[in-house]
């Protein structure tokens, strides 16, 4: 991943160099958003941005929190601090609910725990005009970490910083009401740390480290602009905030090195990675016999007595002592010596001392020189942390994962469904009952009666393995009553009364011991034994991989009866599937057992679609992902269509596939390192697509569609062209994917009348919706929408503008402003050629002509796009046919360009 990130930077730099002479550059800060693993949220902000002072990319909080409202601090309050003032000026406040949470998903592996610095800034700034600063509690996960009281900080700010080892997939940061006032937060930051630093001698589970003090001593002796402020990112790779303070205290004399450039050998042994700015200043006592003394309570508000504290001492010898002379350090903390042997400092070798003991209630230390020392003691920096013992155990991770999946699958928006589901007990989610709070809490009862649930019964219910009661009554659930519910070992009550379930009741459920099953009020559920029996079919199919990464999809489905490949194309074309025509050198067929091993028993979910879940895994060295379709006939049909098309059609601008096997169906796609285009256009995504990359993506996807329309006989209409179906590979080349809704015309006629309209709202051709007549021009329309999204960065339906359709929005903007710049994605920061941009908009508008006859064909679009930007040097050689680009869907002639 790191390599990838660097590459993007290089790409961006090239794009920048290429464009710098041609266009106005407003700022280059957007090119710097490569803060590895950082999550930086400016709560309450309306737009993402790159912070000028630090180069940190700040996102809005839309993706992290579902409740609360945005506010600006009063213009009378000045919060313009250099390094974080901008974040303090917007807030998210939570007038409703007791506990409101942000959910952060750091990028560590599922069973890897990692250490993070988590920091929240709080400000009030009289945003509500009431002059009443709030106080409230801050939790991380289930642990209370701070009682925030802004009364004395009403015109300034407060921040809480925690270092924590995290093994769960997500971290909840929650604000909890502790009185009548409304909790607000200004920003939230997460920084990955090296797991080898900030250890404590305490037994597992490691306590949380609450930052009490982090001081860069000696730095106020530096000339401005140094020393006035704080040091943080990029000086500090971990973005710790170092306060410049304490150098005239009680005989502490600054010692400054002009410049410091540690060689890489020194650096690599220094795992705490203190910034050079911090290390090059120190304090020294006046003479060898005089210690550097520190007493927290004397200098600051007294420490909370019942707590344990922990201090990290940072040293760097910045004075070159005469040969043979040594500086030898002794440290006492709360009157106890903490070094087993004195510390001999070496020139320019950083050392961090982490004591073997904690200190109770106070932090007093002496850094002294031993009697053998030739120089007085020095100190470069130190940190004081309060230890917060993890008291409550969170709900079992698998239960949390399952209930979070259920929440998102059914879009359940209950106010208190935030944070840990069971803990603390007083904030447990409505409708849940959890087991014993002495050990790891488990969900034992889930009541979602009358909760407006729509769609199928989700697989995730089967992961709640301690469940005894599941009440899903009075909803609009449809599809089958799944057999997997029978696998819940302790299930005693299952109530699905009053839904729209259909098909038979699985035998396993009927026969499950001690299960009280209520199924009344499901008119299509067949309760008698006359139902035809379902048979479980597992179908692996196998596909090509061009690059190093692969997605492998496997489908495990239940069918009313075993179905051969038929349906949309009719039996005649079945022959297409009876032989593998693209033979990869590797093994093609996978058994279900192999799929289990590849995915490590479906351990990690990497994506969810309407019809299935994509799991991550490894085949040998290669990363793969496996898609399991939800047990639905409809999904099955879509999968079949996809399989049919992709086994026959090969083109580098389409997701490739190479084979199948009789018993099972699986699709292997080339893994797309950068996911889908929709995600990349969202301002939540840190990787910014340059104008050139966007043009390339437009051309690639147009070429893919052109191929389907013009070079496939009979032609294929994709029917679901949208940005989330355009995937990006490691070079940001685009591939059209998801042929589940595609239509292959069984004769040479141009049009086809379909009984059922299909597609995605926002992308559907209005003419097709009215006439039911499907032609390639419907794809052209959808592609026009995709082009507008690429240009504007807005989704097809602008949620932020009262669900305005993008075409309306573009038209109204162009009518009002007349300037192309008014619709261009602001994230491009003006780095594009207006001429080219207008031409692309022109092509998009032609594609969007209300009458399909007036729209260009895809091959005209491709030509236009190529003409649009000769100077942009777009790589059109990439979209060549693969060797086996035989598009003989009907078994007729193959063709090539």
Q: Which residues bind ligand NAG (CB under 6 A)?
A: 109-112, 135, 149, 151-152, 179, 194, 196, 271, 286-287, 289-291, 293, 330, 332, 335, 337, 342, 364-366, 370, 447, 449, 469, 471, 473-474, 493, 495, 497-498, 516, 518
Considering beta carbons, is residue 193 or 695 the nearer one to ligand NAG? Answer: 193
- Least gap, CB of 107 to ligand NAG (angstroms): 10
Considering beta carbons, is residue 5 or 811 the nearer one to ligand NAG? Answer: 5
Report phi then psi at 299, rounded to 5: -100, -30
- Residues belonging to the binding site are 627
Distances (CA, A) of 683 to 47, 136, 623: 8, 31, 27
- Least gap, CB of 542 to ligand NAG (angstroms): 26
- Least gap, CB of 252 to ligand NAG (angstroms): 12
Considering beta carbons, is residue 230 or 463 the nearer one to ligand NAG? Answer: 463
Considering beta carbons, is residue 449 or 882 the nearer one to ligand NAG? Answer: 449
- Least gap, CB of 178 to ligand NAG (angstroms): 6
CB of 604 closer than 8 Å to CB of 613: no
- Torsional class of 354: left (φ above 0), alpha (ψ -120 to 50), beta (otherwise): beta
Rounded Cα–Cα distance for residues 503 and 522 (Å): 10
Report phi then psi at 808, rounded to 5: -60, -45
- Least gap, CB of 339 to ligand NAG (angstroms): 7
Considering beta carbons, is residue 472 or 790 the nearer one to ligand NAG? Answer: 472
4-29 core/surface letters (b: 16 or more CB in 10 A; e: else)? ebeebeebbeebeeebeeeeeeeeeb
* Helices 806-817, 776-792: crossing angle, 10 deg rounding: 50
User: Which position's Cβ is nearest ligand NAG?
Assistant: 109
Q: Can you tell me which residue has the tokens 């921040």?
A: 159
Report phi then psi at 229, rounded to 5: -125, -125
- Torsional class of 309: left (φ above 0), alpha (ψ -120 to 50), beta (otherwise): beta
CB of 99 closer than 8 Å to CB of 174: yes
- Least gap, CB of 263 to ligand NAG (angstroms): 15
- E strand or H helix that includes residue 413: none
667 strand-pairing partners = 553
Residue 881, helix vs strand vs coil: coil
Considering beta carbons, is residue 95 or 179 the nearer one to ligand NAG? Answer: 179
- Residue 452 CB-half CA count within 13 A: 5
Report phi then psi at 757, rounded to 5: -70, 135
- Least gap, CB of 284 to ligand NAG (angstroms): 12
CB of 781 closer than 8 Å to CB of 858: no
- The first and second tokens of residue 7, run together, are 């590459």
Q: Judge whether 720 counts as a catalytic residue.
A: yes
Rounded Cα–Cα distance for residues 516 and 495 (Å): 8
Considering beta carbons, is residue 114 or 751 the nearer one to ligand NAG? Answer: 114
- The first and second tokens of residue 226, run together, are 């140094």
- Residues belonging to the binding site for ATP are 627
Task: Give the list of residues 6+ apart from residue 542 with CB closer than 8 angstroms, or none.
Answer: 588, 589, 590, 658, 659, 660, 661, 666, 668
- The first and second tokens of residue 25, run together, are 């550059």
CB of 495 closer than 8 Å to CB of 471: yes
Considering beta carbons, is residue 520 or 875 the nearer one to ligand NAG? Answer: 520
CB of 286 closer than 8 Å to CB of 376: yes
Rounded Cα–Cα distance for residues 860 and 841 (Å): 15
- Least gap, CB of 234 to ligand NAG (angstroms): 17
CB of 628 closer than 8 Å to CB of 551: no
Rounded Cα–Cα distance for residues 681 and 695 (Å): 13
- Least gap, CB of 508 to ligand NAG (angstroms): 19
Distances (CA, A) of 579 to 121, 659, 662, 802, 837: 62, 8, 10, 51, 46
- Least gap, CB of 179 to ligand NAG (angstroms): 5
Which member of 720, 729, 738, 779 is catalytic? 720
- Least gap, CB of 271 to ligand NAG (angstroms): 4
Cis peptide preceding 395, ω within 30 of 0: no
Rounded Cα–Cα distance for residues 673 and 551 (Å): 10
Rounded Cα–Cα distance for residues 293 and 299 (Å): 12
Rounded Cα–Cα distance for residues 808 and 526 (Å): 48
**Sheet strands (E) in 362-425:** 364-369, 378-379, 381-388
Considering beta carbons, is residue 394 or 656 the nearer one to ligand NAG? Answer: 394
Considering beta carbons, is residue 91 or 369 the nearer one to ligand NAG? Answer: 369
User: β-strand 476-479 against 454-455: which pairing, if any?
Assistant: parallel
Considering beta carbons, is residue 290 or 773 the nearer one to ligand NAG? Answer: 290
Which residues does the annotation mark as catalytic? Answer: 720
């Amino acid at each position: 991943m790191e390599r990838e990130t660097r590459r993007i930077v290089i790409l961006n730099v090239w794009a920048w160099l290429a464009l710098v002479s041609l266009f106005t550059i407003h700022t280059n800060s957007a090119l710097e958003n490569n803060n590895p693993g950082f999550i930086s949220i400016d709560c309450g902000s309306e737009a993402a941005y790159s912070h000028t002072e630090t180069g940190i990319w700040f996102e809005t909080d839309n993706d992290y929190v579902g409740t609360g409202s945005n506010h600006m601090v009063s213009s009378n309050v000045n919060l313009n601090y250099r390094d974080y003032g901008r974040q303090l000026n917007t807030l998210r406040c939570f007038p409703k609910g007791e506990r409101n949470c942000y959910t952060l998903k750091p990028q560590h592996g599922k069973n890897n725990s990692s250490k993070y610095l988590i920091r929240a800034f709080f400000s009030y700034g009289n945003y509500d005009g009431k002059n009443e600063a709030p106080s409230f509690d801050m939790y991380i996960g289930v642990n209370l970490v701070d009682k925030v009281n802004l009364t004395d900080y009403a015109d300034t700010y407060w921040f809480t910083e925690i270092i924590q080892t995290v093994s769960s997939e997500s971290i909840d940061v929650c604000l909890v009401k502790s009185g009548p006032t409304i909790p607000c937060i200004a920003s939230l930051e997460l920084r990955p740390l090296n797991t080898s630093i900030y250890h404590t001698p305490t037994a597992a589970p490691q306590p949380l480290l609450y930052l009490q003090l982090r001081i860069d001593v000696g730095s106020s002796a530096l000339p401005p602009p140094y020393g006035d402020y704080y040091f943080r990112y990029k000086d500090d790779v971990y973005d710790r905030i170092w306060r410049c303070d304490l150098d005239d205290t009680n005989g502490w004399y600054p010692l400054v090195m002009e410049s410091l450039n540690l060689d890489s050998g020194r650096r690599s042994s220094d795992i705490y990675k203190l910034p050079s700015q911090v290390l090059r200043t120190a304090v020294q006592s006046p003479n060898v016999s005089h210690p550097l003394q520190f007493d927290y309570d004397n200098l600051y508000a007294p420490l909370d007595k019942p707590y344990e504290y922990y201090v990290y001492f940072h040293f760097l010898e910045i004075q070159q002592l005469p040969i043979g002379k040594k500086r030898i350090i002794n440290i006492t903390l709360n009157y106890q010596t903490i070094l087993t042997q004195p510390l001999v400092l070496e020139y320019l070798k950083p050392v961090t001392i982490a004591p073997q003991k904690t200190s109770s209630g106070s932090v007093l230390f002496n850094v002294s020189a031993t009697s053998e020392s030739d120089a007085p003691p020095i100190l470069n920096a130190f940190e004081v942390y309060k230890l917060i013992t993890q008291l409550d155990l969170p709900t079992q991770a698998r239960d949390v994962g399952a209930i979070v999946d259920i929440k998102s699958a059914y879009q359940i928006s209950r106010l208190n469904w935030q944070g840990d589901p069971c803990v603390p007990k007083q904030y447990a989610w409505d409708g849940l009952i959890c087991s014993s709070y002495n050990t790891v809490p488990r969900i034992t009862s889930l009541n979602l009666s009358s909760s407006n649930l729509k769609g199928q019964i989700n697989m995730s219910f089967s992961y709640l393995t301690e469940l005894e009661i599941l009440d899903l009554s009075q909803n609009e659930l449809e599809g089958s009553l799944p057999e997997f519910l029978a696998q819940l070992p302790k299930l005693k009550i299952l109530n699905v009364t009053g839904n729209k379930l259909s098909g038979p009741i699985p035998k396993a459920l009927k026969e499950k011991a001690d299960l009280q099953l209520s199924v009344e009020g499901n008119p299509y559920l067949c309760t008698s034994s006359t139902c035809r029996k379902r048979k479980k079919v597992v179908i692996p199919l196998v596909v090509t991989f061009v690059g190093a990464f692969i997605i492998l999809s496997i489908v495990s489905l239940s069918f009313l009866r075993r179905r051969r490949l038929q349906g949309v194309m009719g039996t005649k074309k079945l022959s297409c599937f009876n032989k593998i025509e693209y033979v990869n050198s590797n093994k093609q067929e996978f058994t279900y057992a192999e799929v289990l091993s590849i995915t490590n028993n479906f351990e990690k979910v990497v994506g969810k679609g309407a019809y299935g879940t994509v799991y991550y895994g490894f085949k040998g060295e290669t990363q793969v992902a496996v898609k399991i379709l939800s047990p639905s006939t409809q999904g099955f049909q879509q999968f079949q269509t996809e399989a049919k098309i992709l086994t026959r059609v090969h083109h580098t601008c389409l997701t490739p596939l190479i084979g199948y096997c009789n018993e099972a169906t699986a699709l292997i796609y080339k893994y797309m390192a950068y996911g889908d285009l929709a995600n990349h256009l969202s301002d939540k995504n840190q990787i910014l697509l340059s104008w050139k990359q966007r043009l390339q993506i437009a051309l690639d996807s147009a070429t893919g569609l052109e191929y389907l329309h013009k070079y496939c006989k009979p032609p294929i209409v994709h029917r679901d062209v949208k940005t989330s179906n355009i995937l990006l590979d490691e070079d940001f080349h685009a591939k059209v994917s998801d042929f589940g809704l595609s239509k292959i015309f069984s004769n040479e006629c141009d049009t086809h009348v379909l009984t059922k309209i299909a597609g995605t709202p926002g992308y559907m051709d209005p003419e097709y919706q009215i006439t039911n007549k499907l032609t390639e021009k419907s794809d052209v329309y959808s592609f026009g929408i995709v082009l507008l999204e690429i240009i504007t960065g807005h989704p097809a339906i602008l949620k932020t503008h009262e669900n305005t359709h993008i075409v309306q929005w573009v038209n109204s903007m162009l009518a009002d402003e007349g300037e192309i710049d008014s619709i261009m994605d602001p994230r491009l920061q003006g780095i594009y050629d207006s001429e080219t941009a207008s031409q692309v908009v022109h092509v998009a508008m032609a594609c969007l002509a209300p009458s399909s006859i007036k729209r260009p064909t895809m091959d005209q679009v491709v030509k236009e796009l190529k003409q649009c930007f000769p100077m942009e040097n777009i790589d059109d050689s990439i979209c060549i046919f693969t060797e086996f680009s035989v598009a003989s869907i009907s078994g007729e002639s193959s063709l090539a360009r």
